[in-house]
A and B are shown apart, each in its own frame.
Chain A
């Protein structure tokens, strides 16, 4: 199909994805958001979660943690603060990390507690993607 949009996924350290795709689903700030050809110009904040890129029968999975997405003229740019490929995630390591995090003593400091919560959330989402069967 010719109706494809070009999509670039970037982190400050690397280019994770740069190709034409049919359909993209991103984890926006509150809920998932899908993009097809001829999407209206949009800018959105990103949350923590999965980014799915559909090209024909192929689906690429990425994990993103915060950032922004912009689409205009069928050019989509995802600027993530941190991002990982599905292959880079190991379910076993993440399970261990999650159990370490949840079993650790309760932080007294409110800021620390908040950061711990964010870390747990990130690990959960990473784990979810790592365990995902194709």
Chain B
């Protein structure tokens, strides 16, 4: 049985671990709230873009065309962007999104025979693919809460250029989607070409086609609207992933704190038992010694 001092030592170490996990939990909670706030601020923008695209679609212009909407007949090169975190200690967050990425990549490359270019955001993902000896087309750390729309837009422009120039035929994003405020799941969406069925026309104007005035013309309006859509989509994906990461870390740290509390309680009981046993033992020895004298 462990001695009194050994148990004491463990209690001290578990208590200090608990302090750390508790702090991390609180830090994640506040970061999570910040992310949520930013997500809420982006929401109206992306909704309005969706409605505007729907409005263009329901106008009398029916031969709307844009390179970003065009499906290539035989896509051969595909870009896959994975968004992971920079740090661990967040449960299965990184593993889940990486598993999903690998599965999807296998499906694309083996079943459909496409060449997959991997773009990885976040140190955890980069380390994983380095370890697996997979070549990465591009890797960058996750900007975490420093992400601004301008950064996302710059990267979005890069993706759009690669797509338009024909360097890649499709662009996918693997990220962690927020399903509800307490449930997030890894998901893969196609960013480019933009799938038109995503924007189901919300019919408000009745059966008549609306007559819009376009300045300078519908094609140019659409071709400035779509890149904006792509950029906002990318930005939301990064924000959603950031939120999910903080959420996952919060849950993991909460569990760790709870486990540490239980452990301290158990160790304290054991410590008291050991102390009691020692005292009993000493008394027994004294009594034994005294009786030997009489």
Contacts and interface: CB of A to CB of B under 8 A. Distances in A.
Interface of A: 8, 10-15, 28-30, 33, 40-45, 67-68, 70, 72, 77, 79, 81-82
A40 to B, nearest CB: 6
Interface string B207-219: 0001111111010
B48 A43 contact: no
Contacts of B123: none
In this complex, the interface size class of chain B, counting residues with CB under 8 Å from chain A, is 20 to 34
B215 A29 contact: yes
A40 B213 contact: yes
B149 A68 contact: no
Interface of B: 38, 41-42, 44-45, 48-49, 52, 55-56, 148-150, 153, 210-216, 218, 220-221, 224-225, 228, 231-232, 235
Contacts of B49: 79
A81 B231 CA distance: 10
Nearest to A10: B45
Given A33-B215, A77-B52, A81-B153, 19 more contacts: A8-B48, A10-B44, A12-B45, A12-B232, A13-B38, A13-B41, A13-B42, A13-B149, A29-B216, A42-B214, A43-B52, A43-B213, A44-B215, A45-B221, A45-B224, A67-B228, A68-B221, A70-B52, A81-B228
A82 B152 CA distance: 13
Q: Tell me whether chain A's interface is mostly helix, strand or loop, or mixed.
A: strand
B45 A41 contact: no
Contact of B212 (A12, A28, A41): A41
26 contacts: A8-B44, A8-B48, A10-B45, A10-B48, A12-B42, A12-B149, A12-B232, A13-B38, A15-B44, A29-B216, A33-B215, A40-B211, A41-B213, A42-B214, A43-B214, A43-B221, A45-B215, A45-B220, A67-B228, A70-B52, A70-B55, A77-B52, A79-B45, A79-B48, A81-B228, A82-B150
Contacts of A44: 214-216, 221
A8 B49 CA distance: 13
A72 B225 CA distance: 17
A112 B218 CA distance: 30
A66 B210 CA distance: 25
Contacts of A68: 52, 221, 224-225, 228
Contact of A72 (B210, B215, B231): B210
A41 B210 contact: yes
Contacts of B216: 29-30, 44-45
A122 B216 CA distance: 21
A11 B49 CA distance: 11
Contacts of A15: 41, 44
A33 B41 CA distance: 28
A70 B148 CA distance: 25
Nearest to A70: B52
A128 B231 CA distance: 29
A12 B235 CA distance: 9
Contacts of B44: 8, 10, 15
Nearest to B231: A12
